[in-house]
């Protein structure tokens, strides 16, 4: 939804610029083009915002309905939380994973729109020590574990909303990966995690790869 809001603001500015240019006789043609383009973009952005909001509401309704249906006691739940000391400061970007939590319990995956038997949660910190803004996408990362390969965390269950980190600032949050096959929490004995980041005005990705992290 954020992308559509930004697009709407840009469209509005283009529309206003077109209106202003219409007052200059020599540039009225350009003004008319900008006004029309701005109006079309604005309408498209409004439609995009509405569609995104409706989808978000549907996801919330699915979660609520799932919770209501599963309010009764279910199978035995199990949680394993591991304190880890992963830290990497390459590329002037400091990445830390402070804990990994493996849960064996019914979890609603909003991506798959169904119940899965468990989840793996990473507590993550990212500090931008570079001189430019950092665009980072940890929730779109890849998680590997014992016989598990998951592309992307759950957007609703995760809590890492910051995607732009200014120089000197730190962003903290959790990334939740629903797991489709999990017999017990202790089955997960290691993880490996990777995601991409970009510095402003650069198209070259900064890849974070933790390698294998043993869970003890």
DSSP 72-94: S--SPPEEEEEEEEEEE-GGGEE
Backbone angles phi, psi at 116, to 5 degrees: -125, 160
Q: Is the pLDDT of residue 47 over 90?
A: no
8 Å CB contact between 188 and 120: yes
Higher pLDDT, 131 or 11: 131
* Choice among 33-37, 51-55, 87-91, 132-136 with the minimum mean pLDDT: 51-55
pLDDT digits (tens, 9 = 90+) for 71-99: 444 456 899 999 999 999 999 999 999 99
Amino acid 72: pLDDT: 44
Tell me the average pLDDT across 19-36: 81
Tell me the average pLDDT across 16-32: 81
Kindly report the pTM of this predicted structure: 0.66
Amino acid 27: pLDDT: 79
Strands 206-209 and 170-179: unpaired
Instruction: Please tell me the distance from the alpha carbon of residue 30 to that of residue 21, in angstroms, as a whole number.
Output: 7
Amino acid 173: pLDDT: 96
The H or E element that residue 51 is part of is helix 28-69
* Choice among 3-7, 157-161, 166-170, 190-194 with the minimum mean pLDDT: 3-7
Q: Is the dihedral of CA 131, 197, 51, 112 positive or negative?
A: negative
Helix (H, G, I), strand (E, B) or coil at 136: strand
Amino acid 58: pLDDT: 74
- H helices within 79-173, ranges in order? none
Tell me the average pLDDT across 144-148: 95
Instruction: Please tell me the distance from the alpha carbon of residue 170 to that of residue 148, in angstroms, as a whole number.
Output: 30
Q: Which two tokens stand for residue 119?
A: 């989840």
Amino acid 8: pLDDT: 72
Q: Which residue is it, tokens 């020590």?
A: 129
Q: Which residue is it, tokens 């797991």?
A: 179
Instruction: Please tell me the distance from the alpha carbon of residue 97 to that of residue 215, in angstroms, as a whole number.
Output: 12
């Amino acid at each position: 939804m954020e992308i559509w809001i930004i697009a709407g603001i840009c469209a509005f500015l283009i529309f206003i610029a077109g209106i202003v240019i219409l007052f200059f006789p020599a540039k009225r043609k350009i003004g008319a083009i900008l006004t029309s383009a701005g109006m079309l973009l604005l309408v498209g952005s409004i439609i995009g915002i509405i569609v995104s909001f409706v989808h978000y509401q549907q996801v919330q309704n699915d979660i609520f309905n799932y919770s209501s249906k599963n309010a009764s006691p279910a199978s035995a739940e199990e949680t394993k939380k591991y304190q880890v000391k992963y830290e990497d400061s390459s590329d002037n970007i400091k990445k830390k994973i402070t804990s990994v939590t493996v849960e064996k319990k019914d979890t609603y995956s909003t991506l798959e729109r169904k119940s899965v038997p468990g989840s793996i949660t990473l507590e993550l910190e990212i500090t931008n020590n570079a001189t430019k803004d950092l665009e980072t996408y940890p929730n779109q990362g890849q998680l590997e574990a014992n016989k598990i390969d998951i592309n992307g965390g759950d957007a609703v269950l995760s809590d890492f909303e910051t995607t732009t980190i200014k120089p000197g600032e730190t962003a903290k949050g959790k990334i939740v990966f629903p797991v489709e096959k999990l017999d017990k929490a202790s089955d997960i004995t290691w993880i490996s995690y990777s995601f991409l980041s970009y510095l402003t005005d650069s198209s070259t990705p900064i890849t974070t790869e933790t390698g294998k992290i043993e869970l003890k």
